[in-house]
Copies of this chain bind each other. A is one copy, B any other.
Amino acid sequence: MVDDGASSRATDLVSRVLSGEQRAMARLMTRVDDRATGHLQELQELHPHTGKAYLLGITGTPGAGKSTLVDALVSLLRKRDLRVGVLAVDPSSPFSGGAILGDRIRMQRHALDPEVFIRSISTRGQLGGLSRSAQDFARVLDAGGCDVVIVESVGVGQDELQIAEVVHSTVVVLAPGGGDDIQAIKAGILEIADVLAVNKADREGADATLRDLEGMLSLGEGPVRAGVGHGLAAAPGSVQRAPGEQGDADPGWRVPVLKLAAQRGEGVEALWQACEAHRAHLHGSSAGQQRGVRRRQAEFRRAFRELLHEDACERLGDKLTQAVTRAGDGTDPYALALALIEGLRGTTQPT
């Protein structure tokens, strides 16, 4: 590659990220978002400098108080002099984008702290974009010297399951009562929990929710780190966690259920200790190490799928545009897609 100035600027950007400069980190994230020429090269240059950060997912039912908890966690981590990154996932929407940013106002007391980096992730409607962005941004934050990267995601759904694949540990936050916890179980959100927290513990029903969760855990009806993406079936009635060949089932980890009043800062210390215990467990157990392998493999699969699609779109150019038009007019999408793929197969490009 010719050193045409662009690549030396890129290298410059990478070194600035590696020296922990916030503005450089923000700029590289924007380049990733824009799929700017050279961003893949830059991400690859960061790779050898990653693997130090602890990636922590915070997810849960709507209204459970996730943002408040994240805010309290950041304060706690700053007191320990740790560098913190926060990635706030917001479902793809121009409207909610604004609303979610409003939420971030609460975080403003950290906004001027040079050791705290806060960024929203939006998918812009790109399916799979969320976990890819989270993964790329976490790479930038990790290389930029963040000790902890918190990924906060809203709501329940497929995206949250995917986010759980990006992070090391996942905290699921619930609010007491309201039947929402039952719904959450149905939606599979509990299954991704490494740590369970019942927030707003001063509210009525908190103890009942806590007991429900603990009951489910001891009956083996509860959380099973169920190998997202592997279709692992949990053995019915199994105690704690189901054994599985491919899944994330981990008989050595008992999911703690904690009470929180994040707004008053109560229970946040204990929550962080539970996260650190889980982190130690991941390092120290073969199940934990296997999970790391699966996490990296999932990362690769996502990257492959995305880059394959981008490459094909680039090569097809006008042909793709024409197919989109014909699809809009009512031609069978499968017939159109198969014809394009057939065409790509027959095209050899000089490498």
Using CB atoms and an 8 Å cutoff, list the residues of chain A in contact with chain B.
40, 43-44, 47, 51, 61-63, 90-96, 98-100, 103, 123-128, 130-131, 154-162, 178-180, 183-188, 191, 224, 226, 228-234, 236, 293-294, 296-297, 299-305, 307-309, 311-312, 315, 320, 323-324, 327-330, 332-338, 340-342, 344-349, 351
User: In the complex, what distance in Å separates the CA atom of A304 from the CA atom of B118?
Assistant: 35
User: Are A125 and B230 touching (Cβ within 8 A)?
Assistant: yes
User: In the complex, what distance in Å separates the CA atom of A186 from the CA atom of B127?
Assistant: 19
User: In the complex, what distance in Å separates the CA atom of A9 from the CA atom of B296?
Assistant: 42
User: Are B226 and A336 touching (Cβ within 8 A)?
Assistant: no
User: In the complex, what distance in Å separates the CA atom of A343 from the CA atom of B180?
Assistant: 49
User: Are B62 and A304 touching (Cβ within 8 A)?
Assistant: no
Chain B residue, CB-CB nearest to A50: B332
Number of copies: 2
Question: Knowing A155-B187, A351-B346 touch, does A231 contact B125 (C-beta < 8 A)?
Answer: yes
User: In the complex, what distance in Å separates the CA atom of A126 from the CA atom of B47?
Assistant: 26
Interface core residue of A157, A183, A226, A351 (most chain B CB under 10 Å): A157
Chain B residue, CB-CB nearest to A342: B351
User: In the complex, what distance in Å separates the CA atom of A342 from the CA atom of B350?
Assistant: 10
Q: Chain A binding site: helix, strand, loop or mixed by DSSP?
A: helix
| A92 neighbours in B (Cβ, 8 Å) | 158, 161, 188, 228-229, 231
Taking the closest CB of chain B, its distance from the CB of A241, in whole angstroms, is 12
User: Are B308 and A91 touching (Cβ within 8 A)?
Assistant: no
User: In the complex, what distance in Å separates the CA atom of A309 from the CA atom of B161?
Assistant: 21
User: In the complex, what distance in Å separates the CA atom of A188 from the CA atom of B157?
Assistant: 13
User: Are A100 and B186 touching (Cβ within 8 A)?
Assistant: yes
User: Are A91 and B157 touching (Cβ within 8 A)?
Assistant: yes
| A180 neighbours in B (Cβ, 8 Å) | 62-63
Taking the closest CB of chain B, its distance from the CB of A307, in whole angstroms, is 5
User: Are B127 and A128 touching (Cβ within 8 A)?
Assistant: yes
User: Are A328 and B294 touching (Cβ within 8 A)?
Assistant: yes
| A131 neighbours in B (Cβ, 8 Å) | 127
Contact sample, A vs B, 23 pairs, CB 8 Å cutoff: A40-B334, A40-B338, A62-B187, A63-B179, A63-B183, A91-B187, A94-B232, A94-B234, A95-B226, A96-B187, A96-B191, A124-B231, A125-B229, A127-B131, A127-B158, A127-B162, A130-B158, A154-B156, A158-B158, A296-B333, A301-B324, A304-B337, A308-B309
